[in-house]
Amino acid sequence: MRAQFRFRIRLILGVVVCAALLILLRLYFIQIVYGDDYAQKADRQFASGGSGLFDRGSIYFTRKDGTPISAATLSSGFLVAINPQTLGDPEAAYAAISSAAPSAVMISHDAFLAAAAKRTQVYIEVAHHLSDGDGKALAAKAIPGVQILRERWRYYPGGELAAQSIGTVSFGSGDALAGQTGLEASYDGTLSRSGDALYKNFFAELFSNVGNLLVSAKDAREGDVVTTIEPEVQTRLEHDIAKVNAQYSSRESGGIIMDPATGAIIALTTFPAFDENNRQDIDPALLGNPLVEHVYEFGSIMKPLTMTSALDAGVITPETTYDDTGCIIVNMAKICNWDLKARGVIPMRQIIEQSLNVGASWVATQLGQEKFREYFTKMFGQKTGIDLPSEGHALLGNLSKPQQVGYDTASFGQGVAITPIQMIRAEGAIANGGVMVEPHLVNAIQLNSGITRSLDWSQTTPIFSAEAARETTDMMVALVDEKLQNGKAKIPTMSVAAKTGTAQLTDGHGGYYSNRFFHSFVGFFPAYNPRFIILLYTNDPQHVTYASETLDSTFLDLVHFLIDYYAVPPDRGLATTTPA
């Protein structure tokens, strides 16, 4: 009898405890998860009865210690609307509104008077983004025919910081705000809010978020987006790219910093850019992202990929030699070294160290057209799958033709056009032991329940053997230690692998300019266990010929910055050029 009594007491106690826990959990949802939404709901005395407040998830940068920093969020304030039927003095109303809200986005004086003249309408919005103080002060004036209504809008705390990658929100084909470019568009389904968050079944929401915490980007649920972009590194890269562009009056410049082992993009930028919070008068072309959408002939940074392909195929070894004649004729086209000089019989490493076009052409011939096409198609034939919209296709048409000259020029980065994100992904295979990874900007989704789901970017594509990648890395390290800035670029305690590239720009008529160039630079470090790979470019720099003149200092400055900022430990001693 006593045993039954104790059992009943325990059962009742268990039910009470479970009920208490559920109540506490529900309070957590109300006060923490949806606290802002309920606060806005309580503030509806300022909102029109039929209009819902704009709602959207946030986007975060991630500092090196894992701290999230807001990249895109919501800002609250007021809008101003007029009722032309009850507006008594339009001039006085305009003066009152414009003086009370000097920082608001407001229509012009003429547009205001034209709106006030539309006597058949009862609601026309004339100003947006008033601060709380300005909105409440204007509401206190109680101007007949003027309504002050609560609103929320998209706000980007960083302004220009990673603007082309974070993206924009605006009205699309429908009547609702949605992501149009960048991550705002790629993750629109995750960031958009259905408006029924406050009324969801509590238990359904709670238990629907339990399960596999590693999901694909396509399966990400509604929540906030957490990026891999490090704000301090992004700020530094943007500063350096803008400086390069200004110094050489280039048409455009850009850069990407990526972890070659995971594909996580730490920073990426192009110049010119735009301010996310002030887009009224910007060129629409700036809203796109050239790093993903545009293709370029990159020049000699292609040579390490040609070299690694031939090493992997076994048609050459690092000790293989060839007779460099300075110029050759292929299919009636003349191919020459940058200085037109012959080098005689030299080993493979000199092709990378001295950036020899004739040498790269010779390697392409040894590889053969079929194998060459196979490697390049594997590297560039498909999109990378990066989580940004409108990714472009590489232009590899010359590799489908029988003429050898197309393969020879492709071997040193002319005649084929690649997107920057494709290029850093392929170069990253050399850094990553021959394996290409998936480049990406988002690593997790924070669900409204508080659960964080990491995105799965684990798919890899083997391209080269680890040995072939290592042999090309040796050549790129030797270039930095012995050739770059005449050997002054060498870092005694850190191995750095790099390659410069200078390509002639097409003239639009099937030929190339003799005095206009596209400069590029790629490098990674520590060379034999890389933390970072960096790709830089500047398009049509003025009064300068070679990338070693425009980008080497910027690359080296970024290397030193990253070493210091991340406290990257040294990987070699003062007297050692490669690890023992």
pTM of the model: 0.87
**How many angstroms separate the CA atoms of 321 and 344, rounded?**
10
Three-state SS letters, 283-329:
CHHHHCCHHHHCCECCHHHHHHHHHHHHHHHCCCCCCCEEEECCEEE
Give per-residue pLDDT as tens, 137-182: 999 999 999 999 999 999 999 999 999 999 999 987 667 889 999 9
DSSP 46: G
**What is the residue type of 186?**
S
Is the dihedral angle over the CA atoms 26, 31, 33, 37 positive or is it negative?
A: positive
409-442 tens-digit pLDDT: 999 999 999 999 999 999 999 999 999 999 999 9
Average pLDDT over residues 29-52: 49
Buried b (16+ CB within 10 A) or exposed e, 503-534: bbbbeeeeeeeeebbbbbbbbbbbbbebbbbb
**Residue count (the chain):** 580
Per-residue confidence band for 506, with pLDDT thresholds at 50, 70 and 90: very high
User: What ranges make up the beta strands (E) of 530-570?
Assistant: 532-539
Question: Quick one: the chain helix, strand, coil %, rounded to 5?
Answer: 40, 25, 35
pLDDT of 246 reads: 98
Any alpha helices (H) in 81-198, and if so which ranges?
90-100, 109-116, 132-140, 163-166, 182-186, 188-191
In the block, tokens 């494709």 appear at: 422
If pLDDT is split at 50, 70 and 90, which confidence band does 205 have? very low
What was the pLDDT predicted at 510?
A: 87
Half-sphere exposure of 134 (CA within 13 A, CB side): 20
> Of 305, 165, 243, 276, nearest to 558 (Cα)?
243
Q: Is the pLDDT of residue 36 over 50?
A: yes
Q: Which residues face 498 on adjacent strands?
A: 523
39 pLDDT exceeds 50?
Answer: no
Is the bond preceding 526 in cis, omega lying within 30 degrees of 0? yes
Q: Burial level of 498, CB count in 10 A (0-12/13-18/19+)?
A: buried
Which residues, other chains included, contact 186 with Cβ-Cβ below 8 Å and sequence gap of 6+?
167, 179, 217, 387, 388, 389, 442
Confidence band, pLDDT 50/70/90 cuts, at residue 17 = low
Q: Are 460 and 433 in contact (CB under 8 A)?
A: no
Contact (CB, 8 A) for 430 and 308: yes
The position carrying tokens 């350096």 is: 240
- b/e map of 91-128 (b: 16 or more CB within 10 Å)? eebbebbbebbeebebbeeeebeebbeeeeeeebebbb
Which of 518, 339, 273 is CA-nearest to residue 417? 518
Whole-number mean pLDDT of the chain?
Answer: 89
Within a 10 A sphere around the Cβ of 464, how many other Cβ atoms? 26
Low-confidence winner among 94-103, 320-329, 362-371, 491-500 (lowest mean pLDDT) = 94-103
Closest CA to 245 of 237, 236, 254: 254
Contact between 512 and 457 (Cβ < 8 Å):
no
Say whether the peptide bond before residue 272 is cis (omega within 30 degrees of 0): yes
Please report which confidence band the pLDDT of residue 104 belongs to, taking 50, 70 and 90 as the band edges. Answer: confident
Which residue bears the tokens 């490098």?
523
Residues 326, 343: contact at Cβ < 8 Å?
Answer: yes
What domains sit in the chain, N to C, each tagged with a CATH number? 232-275+291-565 (3.40.710.10)
